[in-house]
Amino acid sequence: MKTVNLTFDDGESRRLDVFVADAAEVTRSYAATLITDGYVTVNGKESTKNTKLKNGDVIGITIPDAKEYTVKPENIPLDIVYEDAALLVVNKPKDMVVHPAAGNYSGTLVNAVLYHCGDSLSGINGVMRPGILHRIDKNTSGLLLIAKNDNAHLVLAEQIKEHSLTREYEAIVYGNLKNDSGTVNAPIGRHPVKRKQMAIVAGGKEAVTHYTVLERLNGFTHVRLRLETGRTHQIRVHMASLGHAVAGDDVYGPHRVITKLGGQCLHARKIGFIHPESREYMEFTSDLPEYFTRFLNECRG
């Protein structure tokens, strides 16, 4: 069981359940359950989910110990790019969550992979993330690598740690990038106030992103991005730090977000690795999805 005390200083008043959901990185419904069950206090007193917070309020949030859930296999179609006895490369669609979390235990990529693979998955990451080596955000589409046994998991995880795994993305970002290529080398950690967000912070984890301009558009730029590291929200935070947030990003982008994209215009297009058994280098690419190409053509027009 973990308890944190946070001081509200966001300026405008916010509902308690909204604040708790953001601060604890849980769904709104789970935040409401925590409040109802007495795990949340405002200035030392229990409150309702509708309580309006004011600057200076101290919110105490206790997260009860996690229960051991059994993640159920679900017959959800998978776009499988490659599969053998050691691993699986899947093309994840936009809007699909990768692994289950509090208040969200079905409809995820893990549920689909469990149905497809049965018991042949690495168990290193536990019941919530079997075989999952890395993740991409719900609203990011593209390629994911999944280990089907523990040896494959260890070998591939070491490649991620050594930065030898190839991971390339494509994105459409706001504005016209000054340089045709460049590198952002800035540490990323949890935002000091907005706990659901990441930020460039002193003492954060090393984060390096290389970018190349593919096409300059009307008010936007189409870019290729290569990750050296794989921090949470790395591309989104780094591009926003340049003043060129990913189009459609409702967290790190401008206040007037492009809602028709349904999230950031970001696609994990290429992944490459040394196969854990054959020791041969393998590389896979994914075509840009329809939502991406449609917006790209609109920007050209």
Give SS3 for 136. coil
Q: How many CA atoms lie within 13 A of 103 on its CB side?
A: 12
Task: Output phi, psi for 238, to 5 deg.
Answer: -65, -45
Question: What percent of the residues of the chain are helix, what percent strand, and what percent coil, each to the nearest 5?
Answer: 20, 30, 50
Distance CA 295, CA 145 (A): 27
Neighbours of 101 (CB within 10 A): 16
Are 239 and 245 in contact, with CB atoms under 8 Å apart?
Answer: yes
Q: Strand, helix or coil at 265?
A: coil
Distance in angstroms (rounded) separating the CA atoms of residues 67 and 61:
18
- Residues catalogued as catalytic: 137
The 3-state secondary structure of 58-102 reads: EEEEEECCCCCCCCCCCCCCCCEEEECCCEEEEEECCCCCCCCEC
Q: State the Cα–Cα distance between residues 281 and 271, nearest whole angstrom.
A: 11
Query: 301 with 218: CB under 8 angstroms?
Result: yes
